[in-house]
Amino acid sequence: MYVAVKGGERAIENAHAWLAEERRGDTKVAELTIEQIREQLSLSVHRVMAEGSLYDPDLAALAIKQSRGDLIEAIFLIRAYRTTLPRFGSSKPIDTGVMDCDRRISATFKDLPGGQILGPTFDYTHRLLDFKLAADGEVAEAPSRDVEPADVPHVTEFLNQEGLIEEAPHDDTMPPDLTREPLEMPADRALRLQALTRSDEGFTLGMAYSTQRGYGRNHAFVGELRIGSVPVEMEILELGFSIEIGEITLTECETVNQFTGSKTEPPQFTRGYGLVFGQTERKAISMALVDRALRWEELGEDSAGAPAQDAEFVLYHADNIQATGFLEHIKLPHYVDFQSELELVRKLRREAGAHQVQEAAE
């Protein structure tokens, strides 16, 4: 006699044990340490922090180790941990103008105050596999020199002096919080940026790329891309003043976009903005392009009906934790629904068959 499948509990336990064994791999090979991941896979760590919305390199490294290097799974671990954390308050807005830049480039000006700093980039590496690295990963120390710390002005400010770029007036309105309130449409720019900074890198890249290929084209120049560390300050109520509570590494991208003017706005350059945790420049540039594409309405442009211009489309589908969960849930049993569909299809086929027989007889 058939007995309905039992033992889900034991199957789950055993699957977990097997998973742990697979994660560890061949025990003759040394186990990865959190420090190794944090130091040597730092760009993975940065992506996990950015999309996990939690700045903690050690936890991100742990998540990468636990998830066997599956970064979306690692991001999921970080998100689930993040929601359990109490919220003490919010920091003061960070000032990227005082960033200690590792990298700072402008594609719109050959040279500019503060200089162009290439920094640790893959940009001009030839993508040739380095077989030497397989045997020996030692590197010589990179040349360095002392520099005077100085503020690095934003490129867009130079354009602003001539009135050539749209104003981005200072605004002290408390932005909405995506993690504490449900996402509702229409979403203002602060909320859109918040969603984009934690959005999936691949999705955001694809959306940005689509604007470059003509689906809502907005002619972006990288006005400036900067990567470096900035201090985070928080006002402590008991003290009555703000103190620096730490430093975080950020990537900021400001695009300058051509704009021939609309019914409401004069011809001028417009802005797209990307700001992401860590050294994550592909994501920051993508974010800036998508941000600009989503701004068509407030700039009085006509919508080209492109996917990247559709805030509902972009924002509701950009989160990889939501997307992967829903996508993968179709692995769960659906036999009750499937059974009802079976009944329906059988019924429809029966009737269609009877109909054909009747027609043949006529």
User: Which stretches of the chain bind another protein, using CB under 8 A?
Assistant: 1-2, 4-9, 11-12, 76, 79-80, 82-84, 86, 179-186, 312, 316, 321-322, 324-329, 332-337, 339-344, 347-348, 351
Instruction: Tell me if 273 sits within 8 A of 298, measured CB to CB.
Output: no
CB of 14 to another protein, least distance (A): 12
CB of 183 to another protein, least distance (A): 7
Q: Which is nearer to another protein, 64 or 152 (CB)?
A: 64
Distance CA 319, CA 53 (A): 12
Q: Which is nearer to another protein, 35 or 343 (CB)?
A: 343
Q: Which is nearer to another protein, 83 or 144 (CB)?
A: 83
Q: Which is nearer to another protein, 285 or 321 (CB)?
A: 321
Dihedral Cα 245, 247, 251, 255, nearest 10 deg: 60
Tell me the β-bridge partners of 248: 230
CB of 340 to another protein, least distance (A): 4
CB of 92 to another protein, least distance (A): 24
Q: Which is nearer to another protein, 82 or 217 (CB)?
A: 82
Rg (CA), the chain: 26
Q: How far is CA 177 from the centre of its chain?
A: 16
CB of 147 to another protein, least distance (A): 42
Closest by CA to 114, choosing from 79, 154, 170, is 154
CB of 257 to another protein, least distance (A): 26
Residue 145 is which amino acid?
R
Distance CA 189, CA 264 (A): 18
Burial of 220 (0-12, 13-18, 19+ CB in 10 A): buried
Residue 68 is which amino acid?
R
Q: Which is nearer to another protein, 168 or 342 (CB)?
A: 342
Instruction: Tell me if 75 sits within 8 A of 51, measured CB to CB.
Output: yes
**Hey, what are 311's tokens?**
């805030």
CB of 109 to another protein, least distance (A): 41
Closest by CA to 232, choosing from 216, 217, 243, 220, is 243
Q: Which is nearer to another protein, 261 or 325 (CB)?
A: 325
